Amino acid sequence: MRGASGAVRISGFSFARNATVLDYPLREALLSVLPIVDELVVAIAPGSPTDETKGLVESIDDPRIRIVDAVWDESRGHLAYSDLTNAALDACTGDWCLYVQADEVLHEEDAPTVRRRCEELQPDSRVEGLLFEYLHFFGDYWHVQRGQGWYAREIRVVRNGIGVRSVRDAQSFRRQGQERLTVARAGARVFHYGWARHPARMRAKTEAFWEHRGRSAPKTGDRGYDYGPLGRLPRWAGSHPAVMSSRIAAMDWRGALRETDAPGQARTLIHKDERFLYRALTTVSRLTGIDLNHTNHGRLLDV
């Protein structure tokens, strides 16, 4: 895995299918990890006849990018996501493997920290993965989901060669026996843009997502996905990754969003953060400082 110089080698890995049809920021995601990695493996499965995902990845034209032609097995349901993730992971040759999904982008300010953490933790065999803090953008690029039901952190770097596998719908990683990984903090953030897109494309994305689970997507409006009143959410005042600047500038659905509901308007509360249970859990979490969300990692080492 290591080069002749003995330096730590980091592999990036990702997967994609229908990324252009469903408007994933895949290009931005891959560009954001290139400053950190020595190679970048992308597993691509064929999708819609009009999809141009493979061409999009090839257009980046970086010799470190390696495409793995993968198979999308519809019979696997939501497990197809982890299948593709593992296809990319299996092709990685680094000491550490940095995972980024097609709607996740790293900030350039955090890149040196990720590299440094991999280097300093390489000798500590107890550390099997690194935990990243999450920013879930919702509706647009200025509102974020911080409540219960939205994971606050997740594993995005795993040590190679110890039997780590992507599990379920590819949100996280376990050992082959489903043992949770012992982790340390990465000191870095993931900017998650999976819920920040035009309502029409968001609706298409959610329908595809639920289809793989054999269920129908919740109905959120006849004209596209209804994000609800965004004024209920905290606003993000920080910077975004530089690779997202063009996409953010091109945002064309501001007119389809709203800060508040019209007075007296009756609306079904379909979003988790609006429901009583999650509002109550969020309040308890804020008062106690305890994260009540489900966590996928095992022991968190203070190293």
Helix (H) / strand (E) containing 55: helix 53-59
Work out the average pLDDT over 246-273.
Answer: 90
Work out the average pLDDT over 281-287.
Answer: 85
Per the prediction, the chain carries an average pLDDT of 92
Where are the chain's structural domains? 1-258+267-287
Q: For the segment 189-217, what is each residue's pLDDT rounded down to a tens digit?
A: 999 999 999 999 999 888 876 676 665 55
Q: What is the pLDDT of residue 151?
A: 93
Detail the DSSP E strand segments found in the chain.
10-16, 39-44, 65-69, 96-99, 104-106, 129-138, 144-145, 153-159, 164-167, 172-175, 183-195, 300-301
Q: Is residue 4's pLDDT more than 60?
A: no
Q: What is the pLDDT of residue 219?
A: 60
**C-alpha dist (Å) from residue 219 to 91, 114, 202, 204:** 39, 40, 12, 11
Q: For the segment 163-179, what is each residue's pLDDT rounded down to a tens digit?
A: 999 999 999 999 988 89
Q: What is the pLDDT of residue 217?
A: 56
Rounded to whole angstroms, the Cα distance separating 113 from 95 reads: 17
Q: Cβ distance 41 to 11 under 8 Å?
A: yes
| Class of CATH domain 1-258+267-287 | alpha beta
Work out the average pLDDT over 95-117.
Answer: 98
> Who has greater pLDDT, 80 or 4?
80
Q: What is the pLDDT of residue 224?
A: 86
